[in-house]
Chains A and B, each alone.
Chain A
Amino acid sequence: MSSDCVIPADGFSFSREEIAQCVSRQGLLSLEIELTPACNFHCPTCYLGDQPKGSGLSHEQICDAIGQARDLGARRIILFGGEPTLYPRLRDVIDFIRTQKLEIELFTNGGKIDAEMARFLHDRDVAVVLRLDTLDRQVQNRLAGCGRGYDIIHEALAKLWQAGYPDPARGKRLATSTVICDDNFDEMPDLWRWIRTRGMAPYVEIFAPRSGAPKNGQELRVSSDRLKRLFDALSDIDRAEFGRKWEPQPPLGGDACKRNLFSCVVRAGGEVFSCVGLTIPLGNIREQPLRNILHASEVLENLRNYRMKIKEPCRSCFKAEDCYGCRGAAYQLTGDYLAADPSCWHAAGAAIDVLPVEVAGLIPHGPAIRMVDRLAEVGERQARTELTVPADSPLVDADGRLDETAYVEMIAQSLAACYGFHLSRDEEHLHAGFLLGIKALTVCGEVRAGDRLQIHVRKLARYGDLGVAEGTIRVCDGPVVARGEIKIWQSSRPPQGE
């Protein structure tokens, strides 16, 4: 079951103090691990989309990742997929996690949960989070992308109940996982009551379409004003009928989501992400230890420092202490993981930048020397920009040929644009930079006026305000024309002294 984010409310979450301590030590409280990308459902709301290429992690590699997470402070391992019950060694993984004295959560659509599996999970105190989008058979089958979706879920639910779930007092927790979309929107209050009255925890989250995917589920998206009304209604139900008080805020009903501060995702191919919605690869555990990936990640550093880095209106929202919206939704809808969450009703009507953006306001360079037009992508220590070479540039000669020295500016300005993109309005006017060095810049081709270029920069090292980066410049859909390394100083701090 892979459709949604995987850290639910009602005793499944961590305290504010635990999260703060985790941030300060750059550790983990939980690890979400995809056991297999294979799935018997084909949900239109699935975040994960394309299956990773290559073979999946071996059982030993999965256990090693879990051990690394434990060493980083994780207390809980969250198993998901694809559909994790399709993973042949699921029971071995669960038994291994128990030997590590860690809590276990299993996100499943119930695919392989028969009576025996339900007892196995019950006996090992596995918290089960079962997919349940609706009580309507036809809608469920549609949202599962599977003609037997409804039957599979409800047969599994019956087996879990028979096994003794839910019994939270004895550690036998059972939750349901629901993605709010247009198809099940009207049913949500009734579904919420249905789940609560059966002693289960409703884990309900807002659906955000995936960017770039051909079938990204855009038609299932619910507007932020409708979501506000629904969250208010669910909060009222909990207060009036179940004695539970919570403040409505996206993306989860009944809880805040700040998982990027204390959790990460390891996908079946070993790729590490901050969460399932924030699909910027941070590294791969097949290539380096998890600790190194988490400590070197600029994405995670910015998220840990979200009070300074997140953009308006999230930044000055009255709920900013306890909420930063859904970082996955922000990334999928804008390309910027630090953007305000467009699905949040508190941000309704606000102008939120969506990548690509013009760089004119991001870098201090004026038109005559500006060698980048747009910032197209911002990833983990890397970015991609674009330029259409202007015929009237003073660096273009009468034959239309661009001066090769301009390649240096392209790389430096791409880095500056990436840096400027993460600055707040207060910091923008202080943005200053200086080119300190260039190394091994090779010119491979000629560029002419009108050519469309892509500049890809990757940060290799950083020492305070100093950074080293490599850049590659290519004609769109064409060959590389130059590549090289630069060293740059950038700052947005006020000058020291007088």
Chain B
Amino acid sequence: MSPRLLLLRLLRRWHARIGFAAMLFFLMLAVTGLALNHGQALGLDGRAVHAGWLARWYGIKTEPPRRAFRSEHHVLIAANGRWLLDGRASGQTLPEPLGLIEFADNFAVASETALYLFREDGELIEKLERGALPGAPVQAIGSSVRGIVLRTASGVFTSADALSWRLLTQRSVLWSAPAELSAAQRQACEEALTPGVSVQQLLLDLHSGRFAGRYGPVFVDLLAVLLAVVSLTGAWLFLVPRLHRGRH
């Protein structure tokens, strides 16, 4: 057998071996690269993956939920900047709640800097911040016959619609207070309240190899070299027989 034929056979064998061995990794690089290239259109910025193992892998410190706010029809548990409202976890980062109350057919959750009004089915009616609040920071939320009651540093205010506020004179207010969660309840909602890792960040780390730690990028460098080898051997296997045929 001629040396040229031997070389071609050797190249074909290694081209196939490398291509097959690295197929999964090449596919992963292709898919993550494509997704990152169209991240904006796919809305990857605003999405996050919430999983306990992923948070631990990224070294994100997680706090187990400890307290719940309950009204007659609603329950709010919060931890790690996430809310579990009537069993539905929030996608976005939200502040530490101070309390939960029901008024008319709606309910409201207060944090130090904002008041969230929800319809009975959990749809957000409005988020009120500094300018729309009677005072800030909010210290507590309660309910009275007049509607929502907020205790702030500048006084206790009430409103029926959260549009206009007035100083509360009568003092019969039912203030929202947290209740401790049992160990079983904590465990039940811990996973749902795990902090998330942005999908875009996750794809970027998978693409660059940083997801696998300090040696990950080295592995991706090796894949890049292998991809170059596969490309060059592929070009050789395609061109050389044709050039050879052309000469005869």
Partners in one complex: no
Binding site for B on A (CB under 8 A): none
Q: Which residues of B contact A (CB under 8 A)?
A: none
